[in-house]
Structure 1
Amino acid sequence: MNYIPSISIITANYNSASFIVGTIESVLKQTFTDWEWLIIDDCSTDNSIEIIKKYDDKRIKLITLKENFGAAITRNYGLKNAVGRYIAFIDSDDIWLPNALEERINFLINNNEEAVYTSYKRVDENLEPCLNDFIAEDHITYSRLLKNCPVFISTLIYDSKRIGKIYFPDVYRREDYAMIINLSKNIGKIRALTSPLVIYRIRHNSYSRNKWLMFKLQFLVYYNFLNLSLYKSLYYTTLWALNGLKKYEKI
């Protein structure tokens, strides 16, 4: 019988050579060790694949795609191949603190919950603090998520045995938000740990810093993906924008 790990970790990699070492080292340092890690490379043109291959750990499974598909389809390749009961995600430039997996697994088991996310630290490309820690809110529901999304994908873990695998909709540059929306519809609420267990690296050229583009893409989530009326789409996009200003206040 093939061994089945408790957790499947999913990472989409694209040209992350400058940061992937920190991500890999953080996963390898986890106090909870019963995991597999599916790293799906989306046709990188840098040497990130060579860096990943240097790590001789049977738990790390590198999948290389032959076409560039984008984050949603890339992560879904990982989900299709995941065998662990619990599904966790870490972006290829983020860092987990050593107890990130253990704390979340224990919370799910001890509280009989289906999903949990956590607070996280916010740093620049050189790991210097650039914003205050983002503190997670408990009991996140669908109606709460319409206003903005406090759930950061690298902090999220859910129980696929109880709720099934939640795939990423192919929503341009808002696939994380769309998936979390679907997750909330499925389970009703997403619980939180207020301890910051993840380090989120805010990169200088991140598209999320382009406010006008993000405003348009967020509107399209409400209007096209969720099929809300024009009025409700504009209303929630405005709320999202106002909440976003608070979210990115400087230290």
Structure 2
Amino acid sequence: MVEHLVSIITPVYNVENQILQCVNSVNQQTYKNWEHILVDDFSQDNTIETLKNLASKDKRIKVISLGKNSGAGFARNIGIKNANGRYIAFLDSDDYWANNKLEKQIAFMQLNNYPFTYSRYFEFDNESGDLITLVKAPPKVTYKMLLINGGYIGCLTVVYDTVFFGKKYMPEIRKRQDWALWLKMLKDIDCAYGVMEPLAFYRMGNTSLSKSKIKLVKYNFMVYKRELNMSYLESIYRMALFLIFHFFFKSHLKEKLKN
């Protein structure tokens, strides 16, 4: 395996009590050729001081501070714009990775010549840290599959190859921007491929935007209508299919764990 530079993009906002776990999980990667770009979205706590302290100890950690709060999509795009790596990876500030995540996923991509990959991941409790569920992402995801289920691909697991795609940016909407980007990328390839083991850990019980499920409906419609240029009627049809899947079939992707 050739260790090309991986640019890890992390939007950051008011996570002074959680950011160390995120950054440490990157520092402990067995794959060493990375840069960690942390974009602070105008935090109001001591997050930025913590980030600057971390960056002073490791030149691979790069901190960008925004002058106003602009949302996770905008912050991620600033990170992508400043990225130098062949591979772009995503990790939110309250989540973390297994220490062999990059090594396994980059090897998987290079061995099979895959430009867009993801992995399975665990969901864990914010208070106790206990693992709650295993999110069983399928071996591959097509554009049609992702249209009806945005949960197939977890943002914290994605890596894409800029040699194939160039730099791809997220729509600057407050929610569902990652799902919209995956859909646009899947228009250019047959499918994305998944590593069939959990390599990341997603924090449950936080106050992130993704938790307001009912509010996601209008953003889903916005993705169909504005980002994918579907007609009004087709957007309604796709929205209906999405909701049916979410309420009746989504549970098959998750396996509850016994603690």
Q: Identify the residue that residue 33 of structure 1 maps to in structure 2.
A: 32
- Find 1:242's aligned residue among 233, 241, 244: 244
SS at match of 2:141: coil
Question: Secondary structure, in 3 states, of the residue corresponding to 1:68?
Answer: coil
2:223 to 203, 221, 224: 221
For 1:203 and 1:186, the matched residues in 2 are separated by 35
Q: CA deviation at 1:79?
A: 0.9
Other-structure match for 2:71:
70
2:201 corresponds to: 199
Distance 2:95 2:21 in 1: 8
Give the aligned partner of residue 146 of structure 2: 145
Shift of 1:5: 5.8
Query: Is 1:119 paired with 2:120?
Result: yes
Equivalent residue for 2:159? Answer: 157
Deviation of residue 57 (structure 1)? 0.6
1:93 Cα deviation after fit: 0.5
The answer to whether the Cα contact below 8 Å between 2:221 and 2:235 also exists between their aligned partners in 1 is yes
Report % sequence identity: 38
Written as runs of structure 1 = structure 2, the 5 A alignment for 1:37-48 is 37-48=36-47
How much has 1:111 moved relative to structure 2? 0.7
Post-superposition Cα deviations, 1:195-248, rounded to whole Å, max 9, x if no partner, equal 000001123433333232112221221122222233322222222223333435
Compared CA separation, residues 17 and 26, structure 1 to 2 (3 A): same
Distance of 1:64 and 1:15 partners within structure 2: 12
RMSD (Å) for aligned C-alpha atoms? 1.8
Size of the aligned set, in residue pairs, is: 247
Give the letter for the 1:197 counterpart. L
Contact 1:5 1:36 in 2 (8 A): no
How many angstroms apart in 2 are the aligned matches of 1:168 and 1:226? Answer: 13
Q: Quote the residue 1:9 is aligned against.
A: 8
2:184 is matched with which residue? 182
Alignment of 1:96-115 (within 5 A): 96-115=97-116
Deviations 1:87-146 (Å, cap 9, x if unpaired)?
11100011100111001000011111111100000112132233x201111231211111
Moved over 6 A (4+): none
- What runs of 5+ residues in structure 2 fail to find an aligned partner? none
Contact 2:7 2:36 in 1 (8 A): yes
Name the stretch that deviates more: 229-238 or 239-248. 239-248
Alignment check: 8 A CA contact 2:221 2:236 kept: yes
